[in-house]
Structure 1
Amino acid sequence: MNETHCLGIDLGTSNSALTLASLDERVLSVLPVTQAFGPHSVGEQAGLPSALYLPNEGEFEDDAFSVPGLDSTKPGFVGRFAREHGAQSPDRLVTSAKSWLCHGQIDHRQPILPWGSISVPTEQKVSPLTATQRYLEVLKASVAPLESTQVVLTVPASFDEAARQLTLEAAQAAGLGDVILMEEPQAAFYAWLEKMGGDWRSHVKPGDLVLVCDVGGGTSDFSLIAVSDSGGELQLERVSVGEHILLGGDNLDLALAFALRAQIEAEGASIDDWQFLALIHSARVGKEQLFSDLSLPEVPIAVPSRGSSLFAGTVSTTLGRDLLEQIALQGFLPLTAPSDMPQTKAAGGLKEFGLDYAADPVLSKHLARFLKRSLDNVRSSETLSAQLSAEALSGELLAPSAVLFNGGFFNADPARARVLELLRSWSSAEVRELAGSDYALAVAQGACYYGLSKLSGKGVRIKAGASRSYYLGLETTMMAIPGFKPPVKGICVVPQGMEEGTEAVLGDQEFGLVLGQEVSFRFFSSTARAGDAVGTVLPNAEKELEETAAVQTVLEPVEGLTAGEAIPVKLHSCVTEVGALELWMQHTRSDARWKLEFSVRTE
């Protein structure tokens, strides 16, 4: 099929968006998303709140939320009214499905959302996979038929392989076909390239290190892109990605609501739990007003009641600029030292199970941790170190020379100014902003721009490859010792940056492969060991690496080989054009070989 259009989809934790362009015109158009504005009310707006509301039986008429192009028999409704109405009944509202996709301790196909709800029976709940599919179905219904359209769908750079595969599965179930996955910070950078046009080269220079700082409603995502010279041409390479951090603008809204409730109580009034939910919404609106109009000293905050009269029991207060900046800047973005790292969770024996929210709300510390880990990663590789200036490598943290902001959190000028001030305090180097992007829509726009470049074969490309190094777990062969468990070694099979369509052979090393019975292959990864080459062996994978996946399988023996016997094999790894890791195990005494496979790629 010859694609003539590209659709960029930003599948956000809090909000999603669509951008479409044709190869002929190459003009990026943000598409309005058709969704429920209320019972029997359908409208369009730029963006889709990533929220699914599951009504109580009899709460609405059966056909109250019929949206063109969607299956009206599926329970619940998605979008603006789902979020607004769900604020009053949060135990029936599904949010953060994207974050649940990367939760490693749940079955993502089981109906568990809304999490912890006792008002929604289990048979009426949905899985994180189903919720993601529902959001994508609404987005797809707002687009013309996709027969000739390349779809690029964004995910956090920090998503692991399981979460990426689940996202692909949801996209296919929603009818989007074979989509390309792209890291969100890279998409934001592509959007900036599109805005700058041919002039982008005048804004960066060889040796520059660009921090993409993406803070949305529910998550924070960091990446670093290095600028180097290659034969007189500027080259871009993604050199580091951060962890998946559940911390964002929603945390700020909640903090403001708590402060405003204390303010209301100090004024002699009080609010109940339902009114507090409305206060969170009002705090968000007030925050956006103050940050968008810096001349306003304060904005009114009104919290309604559920009385019969519109104004019965209404509680009023104000959100002042001083309070907003105290919480936003001093609470979330204080000027911390480069050695200040995020607090870790207390090692309690029993805790409430749920999303792994960040224990420390200070974004400054999370950014410092990312830059510290990135410095360790770059220093481990001579190739990466050679691309950066001595100034970038000389401090306690890797020092970016430019910042590209993304996410609704940075619609606020003071928030961007504080991050720049923070980075300058950590380094003697000047740090500048790469301005010009739309913080709310850049990811969808960048995904679309990349898709057009891929279809046409023209345009700037960011060199990326595998975002981390991958390792296969090896059982240690040693004599049994009471009370001692032999460590699991890790052998590098894919080094960080290994590109699609390339392969590697692990030298002359031989390993024992067990055939004819169920065995488990454990895969590990690291974002801080760029210097490890194929064949590098680490003595304790469980201590030094992050476990990524486990594959249970039975490898059938061929003629002449005995089941249960460990036979000598050599390893051969390949990252295919579609981003799958193929690990081949070649018998050294015959032509027999076996294959393991899983995905390691995001564009």
Structure 2
Amino acid sequence: MSARRIVGIDLGTTHTVVAWADPASAAAPEVFPVPQLVSAGEVEAQPLFPSFLYAPISGEVLPDPFGDAPWVLGVHARRRGGEVAGRLVASSKSWLAHAGVDRTAPILPWGAGEDDEALPRLSPVDAASRLLLHIKRAWNEAFLAYPLEKQDVVLTVPASFDEDARELTVEAARRAGLEVRLLEEPQAAFYDYMARAGKDELAALCQRSGGEALVLVCDVGGGTTDLSLIRVRPGEQRGAIEVERVAVGKHLLLGGDNMDLALAHLCESRLVESPDRLPPARFGQLVLACRAAKERLLGGDPPEDVAVTVLGKGARLIGSALSTRLAREEAERVVLDGFLPPASLADRPRRGGSALVAFGLPYERDVAITRHVAHFFARHAPGAPAPHALLLNGGVFRAKRIPERLADAIGAWGASRPEILPHADPDLAVARGAVVYGLSLLGRGVRIGGGSARGYYLGLSAGASGQRQAVCVVPRGAREGIRYDVPGRTFSLTVGRPARFPMYTSDEALDLPGAVVTPDLERFSALPPVSSAFEPGARPGEVTVSLAGELSAIGTLELACVETGADAGRRFRLTWDLRETSPDTAVETEGGVSSGKSTRPSAPVGGKRLEDAREAIARIYGKGRADVTPREVKDLVRELERILGERPTWTAETNRALFDVLWPGHKGRRRSADHERVFWQLAGYTLRPGFGHVLDEERAANLFSLFHERVVFAQEARTWQHFWIAWRRIAGGLEEAAQVAIRDLVDPFLAPSEKRLKKPKGIRAEPDADVVDLASSLERAPPGRRTELGGYLLERTWTERDPRIWAAIGRIGARVPAYASAHHVIPPNVAERWLDHLLREKWAEMPTAPRAAMEMARLTGDRARDVSERVRRDVERRLVAAGAREEWVQAVREVVAVEEADRAAFYGEGLPVGIRLVS
């Protein structure tokens, strides 16, 4: 008997599937039916385990045979979640790929609000972990001799999952006690096809295609569309078949969920009168009802129409139900015409306009799958008229007209219609294919080759030429775990000070390691650069190194810089997150691509000027020196500007270099009132915005250790002012607990007198405007606390005509945070109440009103955050009448990215590239 099993787990957006095989047996992979609650009192093992978690309402007693409490998972969870609003976690897999939220924070169910304190909440990582833990317990009960944690487990992920999402998936598995190997889902689907078809059918496919076959794998799941191009050709040895992955598509948050949303929007227009909308929880019920209707209307032997019903709440469960009927013709029109329209090879996905979203997930703006397919194939198979065959995976392809429509669209490119490869049980294929892959690692069956779908390039210092350059460190097609040396090149590496290391990726360029290229934006994408400091504290300089790169199994790139010459032996390592750059954060700069944008000039400061500035700070805050005069202390900032230039020209590197001299002397702030005032003035300025630079997390934590010491010279009003300003400036680097501690201190000074909050002694919350600015900038404080603060300030507007108050209210009520996770945004009904007050103001007398209105009414596409359409229309009209910036009007009218110039925080600008080519 074999000592282990190969287990494949498809952790899907809609369903989770488990398959397994005994490697000592020749039997095909089997699907493991997952036991789960299918009704209030019935447990049944089914091949599909719905990836839904439901929190029972008070008094609802359900059996818990798998230790899932306080959640119910699977079939019954999906059913009850469609009946009870606001208690269902769905599409948690899609949340794993959403960088706009804290994926480790308890943010799900999304949009449930804070009013139900008894409602349990969990993070996207924990949701995935609970699904895996249920599977582990069910498996271990069925296979006592083969505990899942001791088997070879292959866990599938979308091919387009970025490094963050892959790492979080691995972390979810670890929390469930599993060590896993990741496999991309389209590859898994093709492994399943190969196992079922056999070598003879693969050879026949090559013959039908004229010698070799290009197969487009299109995997449309619940939350993502994954595209992969695979080449199948005869091997060198007689009867052998070679299979190679040629390309992988970019991340597309587009799938069955989007189809359900489109149908839900259609039905909603019949259930409620415009501009009214269903609240997020009930709209979630409608989406589930439309999903069930879609599956019936596009399945085998469909009815003419299906009832779509949204139940009421509580005692009015039936009485307040809303119902309409969805016709088969309507479902086909929405899905076929909207998601599978005709598209030529020259078509490109549309980037403008608003995405059809409802729950805060950044869905693809263009839902036309055919346009994404055309663009993908044109980029990766130039000259080829079309793929020879299609392998279609995902539940949506069960509907016969959907694969036919996709094949027709591709056939219209001018070539013959591609062959649709037979693919039984697409819901089960990925899990079975993961097992086949596991067996191939043991030498059983054909292994898909091709290696990495992308090549990776390290950005180099532009030098005197000013031209951006990069060197290939890991080529496209690279194998995992293999070191790739960069031959014939030497480089100079910056040590002793922070530096930026840009990284580019290309899924088109074919370069060998060591090739130096110009990374044009047509063929190359920029990854967020790594900022690092080798040998911090040492004298700044450069060392000559050689380079080698290595790609890990889960998608990290490790770069080794090995010192050469007389002092050879030292190694410097960097690790990149190989994820796609967000268009909202990556911008072109003179030296490459920066993670944030500053509109201010950057002065190239270094050498003696920086050393003189560091010495000026050390003279004041280092060991006490008798020759330091009070005037020198007062004039320190002016002296630094004399040395370095005006403060707005100081780069992030310069600022952090100054902070790193200032911090060790923080006790020196106690020497005099001027020492303390200047300390806080410099500390806040040189550490702002508290994140985005190497070691900032440690710096912000160190500085916060001084918060509870308050101000030593407590009678000095100007020192208190710089104290409050410093915390506002670095707010983005403070965790929630630190931000709450600041709010606890200042709230008694901001709350109305009737709140009777006791003011702590010895604190001067002055000037009031600076304290208000600080409090309103603490975006990580819980939404309830931020709502409370907005109420305090709103009450002031009745008697105070201070524009800064409305600016602060706008920040608190903003629909898009400047730096915090989206789950910190206050409820939209609160923002609507504030907007109602703001719309009554005389905007001609309140210059901050237009921006505040825009921030609170900005359209995000997230029903849990957006104010009502009626309110947005009112704000839009008022902005137009006030002659507000067109960009602000557009932000209220449709979903647009936040302009970097409108963000209060920026990070990473000004660091020099840390490596240059020597020869």
Tell me: CA distance 1:24–1:544, structure 2 relative to 1, closer, same or farther (3 Å).
closer
| One of 84, 95, 102 as aligned partner of 1:100 | 95
Tell me: CA distance 1:139–1:516, structure 2 relative to 1, closer, same or farther (3 Å).
farther
| One of 170, 173, 176 as aligned partner of 2:172 | 170
The Cα offsets for residues 302-350 of structure 1, whole Å up to 9 and x where unpaired, read as: 55555969875666654333222212211211223332322114599xx
Q: Could you list the runs of 5+ residues in structure 2 that have no partner in the other structure?
A: 141-146, 580-919
Q: State the AA in 2 paired with 1:591.
A: A
Structure 1 residue 166, shift from structure 2 partner: 2.0
Q: Choose 413-422 or 512-521, whichever is displaced more.
A: 512-521
Q: State the AA in 2 paired with 1:94.
A: V
Match of 1:143, SS state, is helix
- C-alpha separation between the residues in 1 aligned to 2:433 and 2:78? 26
Tell me: CA distance 1:13–1:353, structure 2 relative to 1, closer, same or farther (3 Å).
closer
1:467 aligned partner: 453
1:537 aligned partner: 516
2:129 aligned partner: 133
The Cα offsets for residues 140-188 of structure 1, whole Å up to 9 and x where unpaired, read as: 22213126521011011111222222222221221112x1110100000
**1:63-102 to 2 correspondences below 5 Å:** 64=62, 66-68=64-66, 70=67, 72=69, 75-88=70-83, 91-102=86-97
Q: State the AA in 2 paired with 1:67.
A: P
**1:554-565 to 2 correspondences below 5 Å:** 554-556=533-535, 563-565=539-541
**1:108-123 to 2 correspondences below 5 Å:** 108-119=103-114
Tell me: CA distance 1:194–1:414, structure 2 relative to 1, closer, same or farther (3 Å).
same
2:881 aligned partner: none
The Cα offsets for residues 217-246 of structure 1, whole Å up to 9 and x where unpaired, read as: 121111110112331422110001111111
8 Å contact from structure 2 (residues 500, 530) kept in 1: yes
Tell me: CA distance 1:430–1:106, structure 2 relative to 1, closer, same or farther (3 Å).
same
8 Å contact from structure 2 (residues 298, 331) kept in 1: no
* Higher RCO structure, 1 or 2 (CA under 8 Å, sep 6+): 1
| One of 209, 217, 222 as aligned partner of 1:212 | 217
- C-alpha separation between the residues in 2 aligned to 1:522 and 1:111? 33
Q: State the AA in 2 paired with 1:81.
A: H
1:430 aligned partner: 417
1:568 aligns with 2:575: no
- C-alpha separation between the residues in 2 aligned to 1:313 and 1:460? 58
Match of 1:133, SS state, is helix
Tell me: CA distance 1:478–1:181, structure 2 relative to 1, closer, same or farther (3 Å).
same
| One of 295, 299, 324 as aligned partner of 2:331 | 324
- C-alpha separation between the residues in 2 aligned to 1:111 and 1:230? 51
8 Å contact from structure 1 (residues 111, 123) kept in 2: no
Root-mean-square deviation (Å)? 3.5
**1:137-216 to 2 correspondences below 5 Å:** 137-144=133-140, 145-146=147-148, 148-177=150-179, 179-205=180-206, 206-216=211-221
Tell me: CA distance 1:542–1:473, structure 2 relative to 1, closer, same or farther (3 Å).
farther
- C-alpha separation between the residues in 2 aligned to 1:201 and 1:540? 38
The Cα offsets for residues 278-304 of structure 1, whole Å up to 9 and x where unpaired, read as: 443333333222333346444455555
1:389 aligned partner: none
Structure 1 residue 97, shift from structure 2 partner: 2.7
| One of 405, 417, 420 as aligned partner of 1:418 | 405
**1:145-544 to 2 correspondences below 5 Å:** 145-146=147-148, 148-177=150-179, 179-205=180-206, 206-231=211-236, 232=238, 233-262=240-269, 277-294=284-301, 296-301=303-308, 304-305=311-312, 312=319, 317-346=324-353, 354-375=360-381, 393-395=383-385, 399-455=386-442, 457-478=443-464, 489-529=469-509, 531-540=510-519
Structure 1 residue 210, shift from structure 2 partner: 0.3
Q: State the AA in 2 paired with 1:512.
A: S
Tell me: CA distance 1:149–1:203, structure 2 relative to 1, closer, same or farther (3 Å).
farther
- C-alpha separation between the residues in 2 aligned to 1:372 and 1:585? 37
Tell me: CA distance 1:15–1:566, structure 2 relative to 1, closer, same or farther (3 Å).
same
- C-alpha separation between the residues in 2 aligned to 1:113 and 1:21? 35
The Cα offsets for residues 557-586 of structure 1, whole Å up to 9 and x where unpaired, read as: 8xxx95421111111223468876442212
Q: State the AA in 1 paired with 2:413.
A: W
Structure 1 residue 189, shift from structure 2 partner: 0.5
Q: State the AA in 2 paired with 1:137.
A: L
Tell me: CA distance 1:76–1:520, structure 2 relative to 1, closer, same or farther (3 Å).
farther
- C-alpha separation between the residues in 2 aligned to 1:331 and 1:108? 31
Tell me: CA distance 1:96–1:265, structure 2 relative to 1, closer, same or farther (3 Å).
closer
- C-alpha separation between the residues in 2 aligned to 1:508 and 1:275? 63
Q: State the AA in 2 paired with 1:213.
A: C
Q: State the AA in 2 paired with 1:596.
A: L
Match of 1:445, SS state, is helix
Q: Choose 338-347 or 246-255, whichever is displaced more.
A: 338-347
Identity %: 38
Q: Choose 15-24 or 86-95, whichever is displaced more.
A: 86-95
8 Å contact from structure 1 (residues 307, 313) kept in 2: no
Q: State the AA in 2 paired with 1:6.
A: I
Q: State the AA in 2 paired with 1:85.
A: R
Structure 1 residue 374, shift from structure 2 partner: 1.8
Match of 2:387, SS state, is coil
Match of 1:82, SS state, is helix
**1:15-30 to 2 correspondences below 5 Å:** 15-25=15-25, 26-30=27-31
1:53 aligns with 2:54: yes
Q: State the AA in 2 paired with 1:45.
A: Q
Match of 2:205, SS state, is coil
Which is strand-richer, 1 or 2? 1
Tell me: CA distance 1:77–1:478, structure 2 relative to 1, closer, same or farther (3 Å).
farther
Q: Choose 231-240 or 500-509, whichever is displaced more.
A: 500-509
Tell me: CA distance 1:281–1:242, structure 2 relative to 1, closer, same or farther (3 Å).
same
Tell me: CA distance 1:316–1:588, structure 2 relative to 1, closer, same or farther (3 Å).
closer
8 Å contact from structure 1 (residues 165, 599) kept in 2: no
8 Å contact from structure 1 (residues 195, 437) kept in 2: no
Q: State the AA in 2 paired with 1:118.
A: G
Structure 1 residue 432, shift from structure 2 partner: 0.5
Q: State the AA in 2 paired with 1:535.
A: G
Query: Could you state the TM-score of these two structures normalised by the residue count of structure 2?
Result: 0.56
2:621 aligned partner: none
Q: State the AA in 1 paired with 2:79.
A: E
1:386 aligned partner: none
Tell me: CA distance 1:506–1:272, structure 2 relative to 1, closer, same or farther (3 Å).
closer
Structure 1 residue 507, shift from structure 2 partner: 2.6
Match of 2:426, SS state, is coil
Structure 1 residue 450, shift from structure 2 partner: 1.2
Q: Could you list the runs of 5+ residues in structure 1 that have no partner in the other structure?
A: 380-392, 480-485
Match of 1:114, SS state, is coil
Tell me: CA distance 1:544–1:224, structure 2 relative to 1, closer, same or farther (3 Å).
closer
- C-alpha separation between the residues in 2 aligned to 1:280 and 1:347? 19
Match of 1:252, SS state, is helix
Structure 1 residue 452, shift from structure 2 partner: 2.0
Which is helix-richer, 1 or 2? 2
2:607 aligned partner: none
Structure 1 residue 369, shift from structure 2 partner: 1.9
